[in-house]
Amino acid sequence: MPRFLQVTLSIPLLVFSTFATAETQVSEGLIGHWPLKRDGKDLSKSGNHGINHGVRFAPTGAVFDGVNDFIEVPDAQSLGLGTSDFSISVWVRTDAPVKDVIGDIVSKFDPTTRTGMNFRVMNSVGATSAQSNHRHLFFGIDSRSEPKWVDRGRPGHNKMTWALTVFDGDLYAGTWEPGEGEAGHVYRHAGGQQWVDLGSPDRCNAVSSLGEHEGQLYAGGSFYSGRGSAQPISPNKHPGGRVFRYDGNDRWIDCGKIGDVYTVTGLVSFGGRLYATTCDSYGCPSRTAACYRYEGGTKWSFVGDAGGRLGAFLVHNGDLYATVFGKHAFARYEGETSWQPLGVAPNTGQTYSAVIYRGRIRLGTWPTGTVFEFAGPNQFHSMGRLGEEKEVMAMAVYNGKLYAGTLPLGKVFRYDEDDWTDTGQLDTTADVLYRRVWSMAVYEGQLFAGTMPAGRVLSMEAGRCVSDGRSLAPGWRHLTAVRSDGALKLFIDATCVAHRADFDAPNPDLDNTRPLLIGFGENDYFQGAMRDLRIYRRALSQSEIQTLSNQAP
């Protein structure tokens, strides 16, 4: 054989040999390998085949509709993770703009014992007046931990941490500062109990809403008298009703006033557009009930009246919803200026908050302090009252469990299968009628909550968790979650985006008898596509993660 032909033939053989060696290496320790192109079959030696519940398969991967599709892998001894190291590797495609929660990628979690693991993309709104997490990756494990709340300080001189939002890797707080000569501020958390003041966008006494839209941080300003919270009336009467965009270096760009209103009580990015609600209250010339959409520059367009003052937004399964104070407690946006009333929960005067839990809408209400499941127009199922509380405000799904903040004692409760567990009183201010836990966000793997009238922010960690505070870019991304020697790591396209090893609790035993769910979990059905899901009972190395990431769809 001619020498040049021998060399030519050896090149593809060398490439194939190198690829085969790399593939063999990243096959070691596999307890499940689901290509997700034709079916839910497991190609590993474990034979953990999945049962398909409506998922559509294609050569590029499995397509999940975000409504009720998922793959169920029955429990097996080989899926027991115990206290061992393990890794999850998967290609995921998410779309933009967002019209859904995005949801759970993989979960194997027993909510009764609070044992197992959760891997999801967070896209949270409705807690209460902020879009708290926007396309943020989360990985958590737990085994019956009993978390404790930790004081994270008081941003400025505020009397209410009105909004908490994670943006571009940092946690931001919007505040109510009602004193003479004061105004609402935005602060950035600087670790521990430290907060950096980013200034006052406006002269009004509150920054009442925060949210991310198209890679920018927006803030809504409000006038709040304090009367509705039994606080002294604020001497600052300057009207709010304006929205601002953060331009860095404490600079805020005025994006205009939304109608003739005094408050901006909600912001949400939906379908590539930014929407704002208003909920004018005591001390305002009128109680305007309206929703607006940003048209660029300083222009806002009126997009309807939902039948009462609007509270929190919610995005779910392609629709935009809003909670309402008035005769219509919950409503869905129908386009242009039309809203469809969806009914009022029993014994409810005001609906404050909304969250997606196990694929269904849940609503926080006043005056019975009850959370309801919304099961369709005029169908509300009680999930029970939170202790003896009267009002449910911020709610968040965190590491497989639903948490809710309350009034009048300023507590946070955890939903534990037909009952609510008191996790602690966050605001212990003496000699006041009302205390609130109004805001929540997940940041650096922990659940943060803001209070009134103490104005302090607290955090807690259930089990061990990590999260990425930067929005996951749309399109195909290779995601990896790793537990290694007790530490947790998150990778996006082979780059480590979150790493934590400073855990106080012992390494949790994750064994449970629940099925492994692909595309579903305690938050929501996944909306997007997946392929090449692998689970290992060992920690993948950086080079192995890079090898898997190089095998692009």
CATH of domain 28-125+481-550: 2.60.120.200
Residues of the chain with pLDDT under 50: 3-22
Question: pLDDT above 90 covers what percent of the chain?
Answer: 85
Q: How many CB atoms are closer than 10 A to CB 214? A: 12
Quick check: helix, strand or coil at residue 227?
Answer: helix
Amino acid at position 446, single letter = Q
Quick check: helix, strand or coil at residue 104?
Answer: strand
Q: Say how far apart CA 187 and CA 200 lie, in whole Å.
A: 9
Specify the length of the chain in residues: 553
Amino acid at position 156, single letter = G
SS (H, E, C) 119-153: EEEEEECCCCCCCCEEEEEEEEEEECCCCCCEECC
- Report pLDDT for 4: 45
Quick check: helix, strand or coil at residue 275?
Answer: strand
Q: Which CATH superfamily hosts domain 150-466?
A: Kelch-type beta propeller (2.120.10.80)
> pTM of the predicted model, to two decimals?
0.95
Tokens of 538: 């060992």
In this structure, what is the dihedral angle of CA atoms 195, 196, 198, 200, given to the nearest 10 degrees? Answer: 50
CB-based contact 511:77 (threshold 8 Å) = no
Is there a shared CATH topology between the 28-125+481-550 domain and the 150-466 domain?
no
CB-based contact 153:458 (threshold 8 Å) = no
Using left for φ > 0, alpha for ψ between -120 and 50, and beta otherwise, residue 544 falls in alpha
Contacts of 185 (CB under 8 A, 6+ apart): 155, 156, 158, 174, 175, 177, 197, 198, 199, 200, 207
- Report pLDDT for 1: 53
Name the nearest CA neighbour of 46 among 532, 534, 540, 551.
534
C-alpha angle with apex 188: 184 to 193, nearest 5 degrees? 100
- Report pLDDT for 30: 97
CB-based contact 135:123 (threshold 8 Å) = yes
- Report pLDDT for 168: 98
Buried b (16+ CB within 10 A) or exposed e, 292-324: bbbeeeeebeebbbbbbbbbbbbbbbeebbbbb
Q: How many CB atoms are closer than 10 A to CB 181? A: 7
- Report pLDDT for 18: 42
- Report pLDDT for 65: 97
Q: Distances in Å between the alpha carbon of 227 and those of 224, 282, 284, 337?
A: 8, 7, 12, 31
Name the nearest CA neighbour of 413 among 147, 174, 141, 158.
147
- Report pLDDT for 316: 97
Contacts of 196 (CB under 8 A, 6+ apart): 187, 188, 189, 190
CB-based contact 33:533 (threshold 8 Å) = yes
Task: Give the max Cα distance, the chain.
Answer: 96
The full set of domain ranges for the chain reads 28-125+481-550, 150-466
Contacts of 103 (CB under 8 A, 6+ apart): 66, 120, 121, 519, 520, 521, 523, 524, 525, 526, 527
Q: Say how far apart CA 394 and CA 125 lie, in whole Å.
A: 10
